[in-house]
Amino acid sequence: MCGIIGIASNKPVSINIINSLKKLEYRGYDSAGIATLTDNTINEKKCSGRVEELEKILFKTPSNGNIGIGHVRWATHGVPNITNAHPHSSEQVSVVHNGIIENSDEIKKELKAKGIKFKSQTDTEVVTLLITEALKENKPLESVFKTLKKLKGSFALGIIFKNFSNIIIGARRGSPLAVGYSKEENYIGSDSYALKSMTNKISYLEDGELCLLTKDEVSFYDERLKKINKKILTLSENGSSADKGEYKHFMVKEIFEQPDTVKECIEEYVDSSKKNINILNFPIDPQKINKIILIGCGTAYNSCLTAKYWFEELTSIDVEIDIASEFRYRNLKFNAKNLYIFVSQSGETADTAAALDICKKNNIKTCSVVNVIESTIARNSDWVLPIHAGIEIGVASTKAFLGQLTVLYILCLKLAFVRKDIDEKTYVKHVTNLKKLPDAIKKCIKSENNVQLMAKEFISAKGSMFLGRGPSFPIALEGALKLKELSYLHAEGYPAGEMKHGPLALIEEGLPVIVLAPMDKYFEKTISNMQEVIARGGKILFITDNKKESLNENIRFGLRVPHIDNLLSPILLTLPLQMLAYHVALLKNCDVDKPRNLAKSVTVE
Ligand code: AGP
């Protein structure tokens, strides 16, 4: 999950490359670099750390040149230092790469045997040196084409050439690559977000395709190097601006956006006057669906696990869920009456995209629930259900999670109704309740001060447990994931009923234990599990929507969220956990928007 950019222009490109790299930092931020062409010389500058370090270098020693490439890195091969930062250049060629070259060791051995020297520990450098070798007998495009045929693994590449100072070549296999168009200037970039400040005219490369761009024109080639045409999309300006406004971090801005983003999502799907959900073009006749399989990674997987409870509760459809990186290696038995639903905020997660690809190869109908509708996963699905959350910059997903839950819940209601698993009265009741969700979310967010008080309990603790039953269990997983990825503290989400089968041994005096206990059929059982924890010294942080429950004296902190109906409780229980993770991270001075070791979109295995 790195970010790449390339610009061919009639004017110097380094400032625009730097600005695009700043927009790409959500994809990786452990090192950065730029290479431009000036007087037929490749001028490469790199840094470890953030793009602003690179900006300082350029300020001191400006790079001119109207052709250039840039890169932000999330290390896969080789430690994050200047040597391993991209671009990787020889005297003839400079390359930026997002992906993993799986046979790089084998190629390295072959090239070293020819006396070719390597500077870095990266896989990418083999691409640079293979192209350099091929250039001895081929033109740039053929050199790249011959090189790609030797590579195994995934890549999005941006390449410039010392002796061809007006072209940039891009290539894609398994990692996203977009092309942007402007007057006397053209671009390649990992995604449209990196290009949006310069153009809204975008094309997307598919796997196996290459592009060759100059400042005046762009040509595309297929995997046989045959010239092809590509559609030019005009991207919409989406509502949420990609700046923090008055907020300190993108994450807290995105938490506070949730009443609006969920409201917008509901309005996109629900006809407010008729109280009807206008999802119509199912890829499989809803009456004939015999199983739904929900697939995602990380937070997106947690939304799948939550939705499983809804589908089981409201429909007669059998439901299965899987983590994408597991699904893609299973010995799967496909059935044309199964609907596979892929959930992904970015729509670029490699494991999820690969899992989708397996379904496509088996002629299985697929649906994707995404935030980025121009993304690979969306473009490769038979049916796309956007979550309308607006751009999400914080690496820790918040508003996208609620968007995923909202869309999956809406889909579940619609399927239950069209299949007559629920009657019209029940359907209208649930749709009416759904419309109360944005205001209830707003009320949840008002409890931020109490949550802030809870945050202190985690700072010096050895770890923490998040417990829930039924649809609160995936929310417990999500709360633990948020705390881990934001504060780097160990946290574990667990089914409350499972604690007695081992993890209860972890409970000791003062260990913070978050108990999620909405007023549903699991409430009493969850209270019993909570008592087992209290009896062993656990410090209970209790979150419920049960107004009557008197918070007993053994509870360190009690927090109430609004109650609409049991089915919507998991969504409301999520808000305090998002805010808790945020405040613990603040207390620990962690980088809230760019947590260490992570990236917003994991486009490698
Ligand atoms: C979410 O907080 C995490 N950053 C991560 O688990 C994320 O949900 C996962 O990588 C999936 O990303 P996607 O939704 O873009 O596919």
As assigned by CATH, the class of the 445-590 domain is alpha beta
Domains 239-435 and 445-590 share a fold: yes
pLDDT tier at 281, thresholds 50, 70, 90: confident
Q: Could you give the CA distance from residue 20 to residue 242 in angstroms, rounded to a whole number? A: 13
Q: Is the pLDDT of residue 442 over 80?
A: yes
Given a contact cutoff of 8 angstroms between Cβ atoms, the answer to whether 154 and 173 are in contact is yes
Cβ of residue 397 lying under 6 Å from some atom of ligand 1: yes
Average pLDDT rounded to a whole number, residues 527-545: 94
Given a contact cutoff of 8 angstroms between Cβ atoms, the answer to whether 480 and 490 are in contact is no
Other C-beta atoms lying within 10 Å of the C-beta of residue 562:
20
Q: What is the pLDDT of residues 443-463, one digit of tens each?
A: 999 988 889 989 999 998 989
Q: What is the pLDDT of residues 379-432, one digit of tens each?
A: 899 999 999 999 999 999 999 999 999 999 999 999 999 999 999 999 999 999
CB contact burial 513-551 (16+ within 10 A = b; e otherwise)? bbbbbbbbebbeebbebbeebbebebbbbbbbbbeebee
Average pLDDT rounded to a whole number, residues 120-129: 96
Give me the pLDDT at residue 241, please: 60
Encode 96-118 in three state secondary structure: EEECCECCHHHHHHHHHHCCCCC
Q: Is the pLDDT of residue 584 over 60?
A: yes
Considering the domain delimited by 3-234, tell me its CATH architecture.
4-Layer Sandwich (3.60)
Cβ of residue 602 lying under 6 Å from some atom of ligand 1: yes
Q: Could you give the CA distance from residue 211 to residue 227 in angstroms, rounded to a whole number? A: 9
3-state secondary structure of 71: strand
Q: Could you give the CA distance from residue 297 to residue 323 in angstroms, rounded to a whole number? A: 6
pLDDT tier at 559, thresholds 50, 70, 90: very high
Best mutation site among 299, 306, 391, 593 for ligand 1, i.e. most ligand atoms within 8 A of its Cβ? Answer: 299
Give me the pLDDT at residue 107, please: 97
Q: Is the pLDDT of residue 496 over 80?
A: yes
Which among 509, 577, 520 is positioned nearest to 543, based on CA atoms? 577
Average pLDDT rounded to a whole number, residues 485-510: 95
* Closest C-alpha residue for ligand 1 atom 5: 298
Give me the pLDDT at residue 422, please: 97
Average pLDDT rounded to a whole number, residues 150-176: 94
Cβ of residue 486 lying under 6 Å from some atom of ligand 1: no
pLDDT tier at 245, thresholds 50, 70, 90: confident
Average pLDDT rounded to a whole number, residues 137-148: 97
Give me the pLDDT at residue 458, please: 94
Tokens 């090239």 sit at which residue? 111
Give me the pLDDT at residue 237, please: 63
Q: What is the pLDDT of residues 202-230, one digit of tens each?
A: 999 998 999 999 999 999 999 999 999 99
Give me the pLDDT at residue 39, please: 87
Q: Could you give the CA distance from residue 30 to residue 150 in angstroms, rounded to a whole number? A: 28
Q: What is the pLDDT of residues 344-374, one digit of tens each?
A: 999 999 999 999 999 999 999 999 999 998 7
Query: How far, in Å, from the CA of 333 to the mean position of ligand 1?
Result: 27
Q: Could you give the CA distance from residue 182 to residue 13 in angstroms, rounded to a whole number? A: 13
Q: What is the mean pLDDT of the chain?
A: 93
Query: How far, in Å, from the CA of 319 to the mean position of ligand 1?
Result: 22
Give me the pLDDT at residue 196, please: 84
Query: How far, in Å, from the CA of 338 to the mean position of ligand 1?
Result: 25
Tokens 């705390």 sit at which residue? 483
Give me the pLDDT at residue 434, please: 96
Cβ of residue 299 lying under 6 Å from some atom of ligand 1: yes
Q: What is the pLDDT of residues 104-114, one digit of tens each?
A: 999 999 999 99
Q: Which atom of ligand 1 is nearest to the CA of 352?
A: 16
Q: Is the pLDDT of residue 548 over 80?
A: no
Q: What residues does each domain of the chain span?
A: 3-234, 239-435, 445-590
Q: Which atom of ligand 1 is nearest to the CA of 298?
A: 6
Give me the pLDDT at residue 194, please: 86
Give me the pLDDT at residue 456, please: 92
Q: Is the pLDDT of residue 342 over 90?
A: yes
Q: Could you give the CA distance from residue 542 to residue 557 in angstroms, rounded to a whole number? A: 6
Can you read off the two tokens belonging to residue 481? 């994931």
Q: Could you give the CA distance from residue 570 to residue 555 in angstroms, rounded to a whole number? A: 21
pLDDT tier at 238, thresholds 50, 70, 90: low
Superfamily the domain 239-435 falls into: Glucose-6-phosphate isomerase like protein; domain 1 (3.40.50.10490)
Q: Is the pLDDT of residue 551 over 80?
A: no
Q: Could you give the CA distance from residue 15 to residue 260 in angstroms, rounded to a whole number? A: 35
Pairing of strands 201-204, 233-234: antiparallel
Tokens 């790089």 sit at which residue? 104
Cβ of residue 345 lying under 6 Å from some atom of ligand 1: yes
Q: What is the pLDDT of residues 247-262, one digit of tens each?
A: 999 999 999 999 999 9
Helix residue ranges per DSSP H, 374-420: 376-379, 399-418
Query: How far, in Å, from the CA of 602 to the mean position of ligand 1?
Result: 8
Which burial class, exposed, middle or buried, applies to 211 when counting CB atoms under 10 A from its CB (0-12, 13-18, 19+)? buried
Q: Which amino acid is at 472?
A: S
Query: How far, in Å, from the CA of 324 to the mean position of ligand 1?
Result: 11
Q: What is the pLDDT of residues 71-92, one digit of tens each?
A: 998 877 778 889 999 999 999 9
Active site residue 297: no
Return the C-alpha torsion angle 49, 52, 55, 60, nearest 10: -80
Can you read off the two tokens belonging to residue 447? 């409890």
Given a contact cutoff of 8 angstroms between Cβ atoms, the answer to whether 253 and 247 are in contact is yes
Which among 528, 390, 545 is positioned nearest to 475, based on CA atoms? 545
Q: Is the pTM of this model over 0.75?
A: yes
Q: Could you give the CA distance from residue 391 to residue 192 in angstroms, rounded to a whole number? A: 11
Given a contact cutoff of 8 angstroms between Cβ atoms, the answer to whether 366 and 340 are in contact is yes
Q: What is the pLDDT of residues 178-191, one digit of tens each?
A: 999 999 999 999 98
Query: How far, in Å, from the CA of 217 to the mean position of ligand 1?
Result: 36
Query: What residues have CB less than 8 Å from 299, skipping those under 6 apart?
Result: 345, 397, 400, 401, 404, 478, 481
Cβ of residue 298 lying under 6 Å from some atom of ligand 1: yes
pLDDT tier at 30, thresholds 50, 70, 90: confident
Q: Which atom of ligand 1 is nearest to the CA of 297?
A: 11
Q: Could you give the CA distance from residue 480 to residue 483 in angstroms, rounded to a whole number? A: 5
Give me the pLDDT at residue 599, please: 82
Active site residue 265: no
Whole-number percent of the chain with pLDDT over 90: 80
Q: Could you give the CA distance from residue 173 to residue 154 in angstroms, rounded to a whole number? A: 5
Which among 406, 397, 404, 369 is positioned nearest to 602, based on CA atoms? 397
Which among 112, 3, 11, 125 is positioned nearest to 54, based on CA atoms? 3
Can you read off the two tokens belonging to residue 594? 């760019």
- The active-site residue, picked from 2, 211, 367, 412, is 2
Which burial class, exposed, middle or buried, applies to 596 when counting CB atoms under 10 A from its CB (0-12, 13-18, 19+)? exposed
